[in-house]
């Protein structure tokens, strides 16, 4: 999504560079700010040596590598990301169209994997965000269990139309759900559709945990935005927040995550504008990026995106595993 905003002078913090809003590009601009702050991703792209078709100007990984390098350079001139935007346009992420940040993020990851031309590096990029899970389905009539292993590239959290916290949303996500009536599932042992109980267990957590707060809802063809409050901490330990979420095969020791980017949406379901709060990779200070305008910010300003009626609201949270990102260690109660 994106709307033209009031004209402002280019203002670039010494720590971060802004990006002009070009053909309603605020959605992409905020994603580029989070990619730039994700040193694990930029390290992978830095060691990638494009050649042949991957060195073509229409290669999305090459265009992303180029713009992220420019955003981190000491060059005082503004960053041009037209090449990246037009490359997205060729891949059906159109200019002059309002987009959803979650959908564009996943599209960029998929396009990088398809076009990078290096299987090992493509796998590395996927592993950055890969949440491995085991879905368990238990028949409520014969207790027969079926399990299936899969993965997600984000944690999509449903928001209740009330005050929420990251902890409560995660707890709801991992709670068992009963499937009855038209939602009954086929049981191999019973040989028919029966009432079931379904749950999800974690097999592994990624270096970068992307949390998608599902604020947009479709009711009978009518899209609307859920503005309800969702509190989230700067740091948290997954094992303390959702103790029942882990499979018996889960073996990771470090499950502490530190927030380093928040994508913010203002407006309604059919229109709006994206901005971002990003913790700079070098000095660890929070910055607020509104297209070409960048300024230092505080944790209190980040907390103002928890939500509420007619307010700018956090839509996507980016957490890094480990507490090395620095900054204050607040109370997890939100």
16 falls in which pLDDT band (50, 70, 90)?
A: confident
- Domain encompassing residue 196: 26-321
- Would you say 265 and 215 are in contact if contact means Cβ atoms under 8 Å apart? yes
Catalytic residue, chosen from 22, 26, 212, 265, is 26
β-pair type (155-158, 208-214)? parallel
Question: Mind listing the pLDDT tens digit for each residue in 99-153?
Answer: 999 999 999 999 999 999 999 999 999 999 999 999 999 999 999 999 999 999 9
Question: CA 98, CA 270: separation in Å to the nearest integer?
Answer: 8
Across 7-21, 178-192, 220-234, 286-300, least confident range: 7-21
Give kind and range of the element (H or E) at residue 32: helix 26-37
Q: Which of 212, 273, 280, 293 is catalytic?
A: 273
What is the tally of structural domains in the chain? 1
- Average pLDDT of the chain? 90
Say whether 211 sits in a helix, a strand or coil. strand
Mean pLDDT, rounded, for 146-162: 94
Average pLDDT of span 228-257: 93
pLDDT range class, residue 219, cuts 50, 70, 90: confident
Tell me whether residue 223 is in a domain.
yes
Position 323 scores a pLDDT of 64
Give a three-class secondary structure readout of 113-131: HHHCCCHHHHHHHHHHHCE
pLDDT over 60 at 241, yes or no = yes
H or E segment to which residue 40 belongs: helix 39-47
Q: Any catalytic annotation for residue 255? A: no
Average pLDDT over residues 238-261: 93
Judge whether 91 lies within some domain: yes
Q: What is the pTM for the complete model shown?
A: 0.90
Cβ-proximal residues to 242 (8 Å cutoff; 6+ apart), any chain:
167, 170, 171, 174
Looking at residue 234, which CATH number applies to its domain?
A: 3.90.70.10
For residue 9, being part of any structural domain is answered with no
Q: What is the model's pLDDT at position 284?
A: 87
Assess if residue 226 is contained within a domain: yes
Rounded mean pLDDT, 145-165: 94
Based on the residue annotation, tell me whether 280 is a catalytic residue of this protein: no
Residue 9 has pLDDT above 60, yes or no: no
Q: Do 65 and 39 contact (CB within 8 A), yes or no?
A: no
Instruction: Give percent of the chain with pLDDT exceeding 70.
Output: 92
Q: Is residue 16 part of a domain?
A: no
The candidate with the shortest Cα–Cα distance to 308, out of 221, 192, 229, 197, is 229
pLDDT (0 to 100) of residue 12: 44
Q: Which of 24-33, 252-261, 324-333 has the lowest mean pLDDT?
A: 324-333
Residue 66 structure tokens: 């180029």
324 has pLDDT over 70: no
Q: Is residue 326 very low, low, confident or very high in pLDDT (cuts 50, 70, 90)?
A: very low
Q: Kindly state whether residue 32 falls inside one of the protein's structural domains.
A: yes
- Listed in sequence order, the residues at least 6 apart from 229 whose beta carbon sits closer than 8 Å to its beta carbon are 163, 164, 306, 307, 308
pLDDT at residue 190 in the model: 94
Confirm if 157 and 212 have CB atoms less than 8 A apart: yes
The residue with greater pLDDT, 222 or 49, is 49
Residue 79 DSSP one-character state: P
């Amino acid at each position: 999504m994106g709307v033209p905003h009031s004209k402002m002078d280019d203002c670039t913090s010494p720590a971060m560079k802004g990006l002009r809003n070009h053909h309603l590009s605020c959605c992409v601009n905020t994603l580029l700010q989070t990619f730039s702050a994700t040193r694990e991703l930029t390290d992978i792209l830095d060691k990638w040596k494009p050649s042949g078709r991957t060195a073509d100007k229409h290669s999305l990984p090459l265009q992303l590598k180029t713009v992220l390098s420019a955003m981190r350079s000491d060059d005082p001139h503004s960053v041009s990301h037209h090449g990246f935007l037009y490359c997205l346009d060729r891949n059906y992420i159109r200019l002059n169209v309002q987009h959803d940040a979650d959908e564009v993020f996943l599209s960029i990851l998929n396009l990088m994997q398809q076009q990078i031309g290096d299987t090992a590096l493509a796998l590395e990029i996927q592993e950055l965000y890969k949440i491995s899970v085991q879905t368990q389905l238990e028949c409520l009539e014969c207790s027969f269990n079926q399990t299936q292993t899969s993965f997600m590239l984000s944690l999509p959290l449903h928001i209740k139309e009330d005050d929420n916290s990251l902890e409560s949303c995660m707890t709801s996500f991992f709670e068992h759900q009963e499937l009855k009536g038209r939602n009954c599932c086929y049981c191999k042992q019973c040989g028919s559709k029966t009432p079931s109980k379904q749950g999800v267990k974690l097999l592994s957590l990624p270096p970068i945990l992307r949390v998608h707060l599902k604020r947009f809802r479709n009711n009978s063809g009518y899209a609307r935005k859920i503005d309800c409050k969702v509190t989230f901490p700067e740091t948290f330990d997954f094992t303390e927040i959702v103790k029942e979420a882990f499979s018996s095969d889960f073996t990771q020791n470090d499950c502490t995550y530190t927030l380093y980017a928040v994508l913010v949406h203002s407006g309604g379901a059919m229109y709006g504008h994206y901005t971002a709060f990003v913790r700079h990779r070098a000095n660890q200070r929070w910055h607020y990026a509104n297209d070409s305008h960048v300024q230092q910010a505080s944790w209190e300003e980040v907390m103002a995106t928890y939500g509420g009626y007619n307010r700018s609201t956090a839509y996507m949270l980016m957490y890094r595993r480990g507490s090395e990102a620095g900054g204050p260690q607040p109370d997890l109660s939100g």
